[in-house]
Amino acid sequence: QLADRADLVIIAPASANSIARLAAGYADDPVTAIVLATRAPVLLAPSMNVNMWSHPITEANVLKLIDTAGYHVVGPGDGFLACRWTGPGRLAEPADIVEAAANVLTTQDLAGVRVVVTAGPTYEAIDPVRFVGNRSSGKMGVAIAAAAQRRGARVTLVLGPSAVPTPIGVNTMSVENATQLQWALGDAVKDADVVVMTAAVADYRPAKEAKQKIKRGQLGDTATIELVQNPDLLAELGKARGSRSTPLLVGFAAETDDVIGNAEKKLATKRCDLVVANDVSEPGSGFAVDTNRVTLVDPSGAIEVPAGTKYEVAHRILDHVVAMRAAQAAKPARIAKPSKKSRKR
């Protein structure tokens, strides 16, 4: 019953002896019997002496379990071992085992897909102390990066100033302002299949940045800061893509009124495939909180996503992205009609 009920079997720690017995197909104790009888995926977390781990027989056994039985392996880590040797052989950290288990259980419908995600705010400096910014925490974008990575994507995260921990296995580029974000995107999107623009980029920046801190009263009783417009990065991506279907372009619209109407305008003017809109004035939706409620707006209409954690909402957004990519792939290729000059007479 244990073998039949399991969604995933984790062996942690998996010793050299356990790995050898599994590779040989033994079923004479509870562990090997359950593993041999289950149809669930199996995740091994090896832990052993460094020389045992590097032994050719152990290496062959691990490869056999991966190649023949489709087992998954996390670790081992590198460090000081119980046998007083130092090197690979430490049991993977609990967080890494949990991460690996979640990856195994998640559908890999974005396997190999190159996804670029922008997240967080931008800080446009007034002087070395002050800046023009916004309330974005980066939580939604980081959640999308983590969810895409878990679904098998090769993820690049371009992250503005944020205290949110970045996901394991995600290539992260840190930026501070819109200009740096523009430069980072220029490299990141060259080979991208999907670009998700969650970053809350400041619309304006100070025309001049003071090199020294502006002292209180230095500018008089009232002060005016001249602002200039930042580049519209989403519109630039849409324009550069032109009529091509890749990368699939996802924009975000943080609104306080006429949420759907503004999202539809953004969809058209920025040449996006999908706009994720939310009302940041609603409790539990928007900046800094761990939950969100969004509406997905594409050329076919609007779909409301129920409120949930930002990670849950991230997966619903990616579900829609996967469906859109499948629809694009299913479209028959256009065959160019011969010009009048090339037609037979």
Q: Please check the confidence at residue 343 and state whether its pLDDT lies above 50.
A: no
Last-in-domain residue among 105, 132, 150 = 105
- Our measurement of the distance from residue 232's CA atom to the centroid of its chain's CA atoms, rounded to an integer in Å, reads 22
Tell me whether residue 183 is in a domain. Answer: yes
Sign of CA dihedral 268, 245, 276, 298: positive
Mean pLDDT of 69-73: 90
Classify residue 37: in a domain, yes or no.
yes
Please identify, among 73, 105, 137, the residue that sits at the C-terminal boundary of a domain. 105
Residues in the chain, overall count: 345
235 and 252 in a single domain? The answer is yes
Do 144 and 284 lie in a common domain? yes
Structural domain boundaries enclosing 126: 114-330
Whether 190 and 305 share a structural domain: yes
Do 89 and 183 belong together in one domain?
A: no
Number of domains observed in the structure of the chain: 2
Q: Is residue 242 part of a domain?
A: yes
Residue 345 lies in a domain: no
Residues 97 and 127 in one domain: no
Mean predicted lDDT score pLDDT of the chain: 89
Of 318, 315, 19, nearest in space to 193 by CA = 318
Give the CATH number for residue 50. 3.40.50.1950
Q: Is residue 343 part of a domain?
A: no
Q: How do residues 168-202 score in pLDDT, each as one tens digit?
A: 779 999 999 999 999 999 888 988 999 999 999 99
Contact 152, 170 (CB under 8 A): no
Same domain, 239 and 181: yes
What pLDDT, on a 0 to 100 scale, did the predictor assign at position 229?
94
Residue 167 domain-assigned (yes or no): yes
CATH number at residue 196: 3.40.50.10300
Indicate the pLDDT class of residue 325, thresholds 50, 70 and 90: very high
Q: Is the pLDDT of residue 26 over 90?
A: yes
d(CA 327, CA 56): 47
Domain final residue pick, 72, 105, 138 = 105
Which pLDDT band holds residue 118 (cuts at 50, 70, 90)?
very high
Using the predicted structure, report yes or no on whether residue 260 has a pLDDT greater than 60.
yes
CA distances from 103 to 111, 113, 147, 151, 228 (A): 11, 15, 9, 7, 44
Token reading at 307: 């409120």
Percentage of the chain lying above the pLDDT 70 cut: 96
Dihedral over alpha carbons 249, 250, 251, 252 (to 10 degrees): -170
Q: Cis peptide leading into 161, omega within 30 of 0? A: no
284 and 248 within one domain:
yes
Confidence check: pLDDT of 333 > 60: no
Is 341 within a domain? no
Q: What is the DSSP letter of 207?
A: S
Q: What is the pLDDT of residue 342?
A: 46
Residues 145 and 267 in one domain: yes
Q: Are 69 and 130 part of one and the same domain? A: no
Residues 101 and 122 in one domain: no
322 in the same domain as 207: yes
State whether 98 and 172 are in the same domain: no
Catalytic positions, written as ranges? 83
Weakest-pLDDT range from 19-23, 50-54, 121-125:
50-54
Q: Are 134 and 161 in contact (CB under 8 A)?
A: no
In this prediction, residue 155 carries a pLDDT of 95
Q: When comparing pLDDT for 279 and 107, which is higher?
A: 279
Whether residue 228 lies inside any domain: the answer is yes
